[in-house]
Amino acid sequence: MLIEKLNGKVVKSGNFCDTYNPVFFRICSEGRDKDDLMHLLETNTDIKVHDTITAQLKELVKTRKPSFRLSPAQIEEEIISHLNGINITEYGVWVYYPWKETLVHILDKNEFIELRTNRNKYKITDEEQETLGGKKVGIIGLSVGQSIALTFAMERICGELRLADFDTADLSNLNRLRTGVANIGIKKTVIAAREIMEMDPYLNIKLFDNGINEGNIVDFMCDGGKLDLLVEVCDGIDIKILSRYKARELGIPVIMDTNDRGMLDVERFDLEPSRPVLHGLAEGLDPNTIKGLSNEDKVPFILNLVGIDTISSRLKASMMEVEQSLSTWPQLASSVTLGGALTTDVSRRILLGLFHDSGRYYVDFDELIKNKPSETDGTDVKNYFGPDEMDWATLELIAAKYKPIGISSHIGADDLNTLLNAACLAPSGGNAQPWKFLYKNDRIFIIHDEHFSYSLLDFRNEGSYLGFGAMLENIAIAASAYNIPANVEVFPVKDDMRLIAVVSFGHVVLSHALNYLSPVIGSRVTNRNTGERKLLDKEDKLALESLAEFIPGAKLQLYEEISQLAEFANELTNAERIRILNPRGHFDTFIREIRFNRLQTEATSDGMDIETLNMSKSEKAGLQIASDPVAIEFLNKLQKGTGFKKISHKPIMTSSCIGVLSMDGNDAYHFLQGGRATEIVWLEANRRGISLQPVSAAIFLLSRYLHGNKSDFNHFEQSELNSINKNLNRLMDLPHGRYPVFIFRLFYADQPKERALRRPLKKVFFEDRF
């Protein structure tokens, strides 16, 4: 590396140094410049000299007389007159670029600016150009910021640029950073500054190459004069907030480009001193509160700031792949280049006082430039909603098909309520509560309302029947515990399976050996918390296994080896992934099932309240991103989405064991019976302080895959389901003739803070006393 003392400064040459200031030699004037330049050239024979001063002068004289067609001789004359006796070699400035070891001969400042901005006219007038030349702009973050800085410099919409970034260029930055491979490892500030100095060495540049922090933000904004505009395009939310609070305090307008869908934010703190930062989207965040937030806690704020629903589907899909198949989210050169253009255009108008508003704007190419809608668009939109909700008349029609055996006695309101409450406390897939009750002719008719359960997972209503089985067990236990002489007939109308059961009332109370479980009916819960892995006691295991067999044909198998848990985790979570990636499964999950906030939860009192899902703030935010069907369709095409496996992976791995409840058949009746056995195991487990969470998507998905229409799944989904099926069968190792009807995990953990709601009785119970 060459180290020279030039113009009184120590100058290091070569790329691998932090120099970004060129050295100026004005050799026609008195001073040491000529000697220094001579010395530089004598001691460095490698220096490349680029002298185009004659061409520049030719252009200058021509642009000054645009209405003349000057002949070569006239141009020559004009130049001679312009030089006014000065030797052309000594005219203007010799600029030495140490990092390029190149010496360039250019016009001096005023003529240089005049000629370099000549083609801006009159999109930018001379007066405007001069005004802009006095402006100071700060740019924080030099990814899109580099494109902005270069465009600002090229258009010359400011006279001073302060550039802040702490990073160096990596090869993976070069997809959007306008620089060459020889600059890998060089600071991004230095790269940008050099590019700018090479196009216009007369601009003032100040670098903050440790980035911005509380210690230097005031210097950044004020040292050498207050900024006229702040361009904030960094990744860190702390700095986004800190810089805005400072900018607002100092009355500096802020502009931000987010290089997705051409999103641009303008905040006119110069005109609106009390404007909430980031249009109020950063509510709850200030430079002090942000300090206490973990990275995890910041994610929802960040997503709120960028607008979780408005980011592009491709970005959403990519975000879901971060730390799966991607190391970080994507940024494209085209977006970054657009960001440079947008920000420069709007900044120029702000700096010239031509644009005054604050707001968020989009220049979204996908929206602006797209195929005309074709006639077939919209015709294949699938409707995954099921049949309409049953009304009273339909319930009556179904009940009318029932042919009573014997008589039923009237039941008092208290007993009726006891049974109905126990019934409604049953678990149901997705908390769909696909039930309706009709009290008629002194009987309770329990009817399946498919409107609520119609879904990818509920193939042949198997999931629903499982839940109804649990309900019938609750009714039987409660009846015995409260001395209610109830008698249950299951599927009494063979050609209408919607009538799940009819409860009649006689005089004899059927004693249930497990009626001590009655108090647990109200506290039984799906726990999705994660605890420390602790094996079940032998006695607990034996009790659960033998209680399952209380229901004829039912059997419970427990798998507790960690290697078995790992294999179950892999297969069961893969089934959950396929459910989310499948268009209908996605619709079920996000449109029908999940309630994203209290308002939604309370509006229906069914579905999955996000607060019961034991998710961190960032996981909840992730779920919101995953609700975009276009993003998911894209991930499905890529056969990705492995991030969804994370949701249940840790919970399974920290469980005591996986339980598989199997039956000796797999028709509707067996699922109903399986539900009874499941409820007994669930109640007993909870009674013993053991938590239970179903992880059953695989069973119900596989049922559709194996016995239903293959076209419900694409090739990728089919191949994954095929492998899940093979691996689960090997893992469960059930004897021939046994069928899994429910899979769950058993574990020790804190009780859930929120409980799943139930629809009020008045919405599910109808009474016909006539």
Ligand X SMILES: Cc1cc2nc3c(=O)[nH]c(=O)nc-3n(C[C@H](O)[C@H](O)[C@H](O)COP(=O)(O)O)c2cc1C
Residues that bind ligand X (CB under 6 A): 427-431, 463, 466-467, 525-526, 528, 608, 693-697, 756
- Closer residue to ligand X, CB minimum distance, 201 or 607: 607
- Closer residue to ligand X, CB minimum distance, 121 or 707: 707
- Closer residue to ligand X, CB minimum distance, 260 or 679: 679
- Closer residue to ligand X, CB minimum distance, 124 or 521: 521
What's the closest the beta carbon of residue 527 comes to ligand X, in angstroms?
8
What's the closest the beta carbon of residue 580 comes to ligand X, in angstroms?
12
- Closer residue to ligand X, CB minimum distance, 254 or 432: 432
What's the closest the beta carbon of residue 755 comes to ligand X, in angstroms?
6
Interhelix angle 715-732/562-581, rounded to 10 degrees, is: 160
Nearest-CA neighbor of 360 among 437, 279, 441, 265? 265
Other CB atoms within a 10 A radius of the CB of residue 594 amount to 21
Q: Give the pair of three-digit tokens for residue 470.
A: 């649990």
Burial level of 436, CB count in 10 A (0-12/13-18/19+)? buried
- Closer residue to ligand X, CB minimum distance, 504 or 693: 693
**Distant-in-sequence, close-in-space partners of 85: CB < 8 Å, separation ≥ 6:** none
Other CB atoms within a 10 A radius of the CB of residue 295 amount to 9
Residue with nearest beta carbon to ligand X = 427
Nearest-CA neighbor of 329 among 313, 339, 318? 318
Other CB atoms within a 10 A radius of the CB of residue 562 amount to 9
- Closer residue to ligand X, CB minimum distance, 156 or 670: 670
**Distant-in-sequence, close-in-space partners of 628: CB < 8 Å, separation ≥ 6:** 313, 316
- Closer residue to ligand X, CB minimum distance, 175 or 751: 751
What's the closest the beta carbon of residue 210 comes to ligand X, in angstroms?
47
- Closer residue to ligand X, CB minimum distance, 398 or 698: 698
What's the closest the beta carbon of residue 430 comes to ligand X, in angstroms?
6
What's the closest the beta carbon of residue 491 comes to ligand X, in angstroms?
18
CA of 358: how far to CAs of 144, 166, 204, 280, 770, in Å?
A: 21, 29, 28, 12, 67
What's the closest the beta carbon of residue 676 comes to ligand X, in angstroms?
12
What's the closest the beta carbon of residue 296 comes to ligand X, in angstroms?
22
Whole-angstrom distance, CA of residue 240 vs CA of residue 662: 55
Amino acid at 678: T
Contact 484, 477 (CB under 8 A): no
- Closer residue to ligand X, CB minimum distance, 340 or 430: 430
What's the closest the beta carbon of residue 696 comes to ligand X, in angstroms?
4
- Phi, psi for residue 746 in degrees, rounded to 5: -115, 140
Whole-angstrom distance, CA of residue 630 vs CA of residue 147: 30
What's the closest the beta carbon of residue 256 comes to ligand X, in angstroms?
40
Q: Give the pair of three-digit tokens for residue 93.
A: 């400035």
Whole-angstrom distance, CA of residue 592 vs CA of residue 605: 13
- Phi, psi for residue 49 in degrees, rounded to 5: -110, 130
What's the closest the beta carbon of residue 586 comes to ligand X, in angstroms?
15
- Closer residue to ligand X, CB minimum distance, 300 or 585: 585
What's the closest the beta carbon of residue 607 comes to ligand X, in angstroms?
8
Whole-angstrom distance, CA of residue 62 vs CA of residue 75: 7
Q: How many helices and strands in the chain, by DSSP H and E?
A: 28, 24
SS3 state at 180: coil
- Closer residue to ligand X, CB minimum distance, 138 or 651: 651
What's the closest the beta carbon of residue 163 comes to ligand X, in angstroms?
50
Whole-angstrom distance, CA of residue 320 vs CA of residue 641: 7
- Closer residue to ligand X, CB minimum distance, 340 or 469: 469
- Closer residue to ligand X, CB minimum distance, 147 or 656: 656
Residue-wise over 53-64: b if at least 16 C-beta within 10 A, else e? Answer: beebbbebbbee
Tallying the residues shown for the chain, one arrives at: 770
What's the closest the beta carbon of residue 466 comes to ligand X, in angstroms?
4
- Closer residue to ligand X, CB minimum distance, 22 or 752: 752
Q: Give the pair of three-digit tokens for residue 680.
A: 């007994």
Long-range Cβ contacts of 379-386 (<8 Å, 24+ apart):
382/583, 382/584, 382/587, 384/454, 384/455, 384/456, 384/584, 384/587, 384/588, 384/591, 384/592, 385/454, 385/592, 386/450, 386/451, 386/452, 386/453, 386/454, 386/455
- Closer residue to ligand X, CB minimum distance, 233 or 608: 608
Whole-angstrom distance, CA of residue 14 vs CA of residue 36: 19
DSSP secondary structure code for residue 186 in this structure: S
What's the closest the beta carbon of residue 578 comes to ligand X, in angstroms?
13
Nearest-CA neighbor of 260 among 202, 317, 217? 317
- Closer residue to ligand X, CB minimum distance, 318 or 573: 573
Contact 201, 24 (CB under 8 A): yes
Whole-angstrom distance, CA of residue 169 vs CA of residue 488: 73
What's the closest the beta carbon of residue 432 comes to ligand X, in angstroms?
8
What's the closest the beta carbon of residue 766 comes to ligand X, in angstroms?
23
DSSP secondary structure code for residue 588 in this structure: I
- Phi, psi for residue 458 in degrees, rounded to 5: -90, 50
